[in-house]
Amino acid sequence: MTELAAALRDLDEDKVHELVDAKLAAGESPIDIIQECQEGIIAVGELYASGRYYLTELMFSGDIMQSVMAKLDPIIASKADEGKIIGTVVIGTVRGDIHDIGKNIVVNLLRSNRFKVIDLGVDVHAENFVSMVRKTKAKVLGLSALLSTTYPEMKNVIDALTEAGLRDQVKVIIGGAIVNEEVREYTGADAYANDAIQGIEFCRKVYGGGNN
């Protein structure tokens, strides 16, 4: 584990920021910094799951991550690829789930990569996803979920798209730390991603490589 990941795992906010500042000064990419932080925060989750951390620590790790993102987001935005919009992506965290740090990273990266993003926020009902896909004619719907209890809800959204006759016109990608091929298959999604870059690559592919 890197020093930055360990500082986040140990909830040492000052050290996290010291290391992030040093990495930025050394020209490291915000994406690499996010990945290191993600490693640390996954360790926080494991400590929580094993009973060594409590909800307070879980919340604090989220706060630290958000304060890091407040620093990285403007840098990501300043490197935005200017030019014609590639396509529209509707995204949100599904009903029952309020985790949004990862989703927000995906949103910012998509925007800086010339996608128009409709971010529906957290705890989003299936009908809202369906009506936004219908309204915007988006070719990609991104569903974020970090709780295994919300997998049925992701399936519910995809079933609702089918019922509305929209499933053929939209590709669905599910994302979050713990989704995998098994969850993709269960929900009926077209793809899954455990990091933002995979998600952006998928959107580019759906929109024909981003050249249209």
Which residues here bind ligand B12, judged by CB under 6 A? 38, 41-42, 44-46, 48-49, 55, 58-59, 61-62, 65, 91, 96-103, 105-106, 142, 144, 146-149, 173, 175-178, 193-196, 199
Q: How many CB atoms lie within 10 A of CB 110?
A: 25
CB of 198 to ligand B12, least distance (A): 6
The distance of Cα 189 from the centroid of its chain, to the nearest Å, equals 16
* Of 108 and 166, CB closest to ligand B12: 108
Q: Which is nearer to ligand B12, 87 or 142 (CB)?
A: 142
Closer of 19 and 106 to ligand B12 (Cβ): 106
* Residue given tokens 């060594």 in the structure block: 52
Distance of closest approach, residue 20 Cβ to ligand B12, in angstroms: 14
Of 77, 92, 171, whose CA–CA distance to 132 is shortest? 92
* Shortest Å distance, C-beta 201 to ligand B12: 9
CA dihedral 59, 125, 145, 211 (to 10 degrees): -120
Closer to ligand B12 at the Cβ: 103 or 155? 103
Say if residues 97 and 152 touch (Cβ distance below 8 Å). no
Question: What is the C-alpha to C-alpha distance for residues 11 and 9, in angstroms, rounded to an integer?
Answer: 5
CB 147 to ligand B12: min, Å: 4
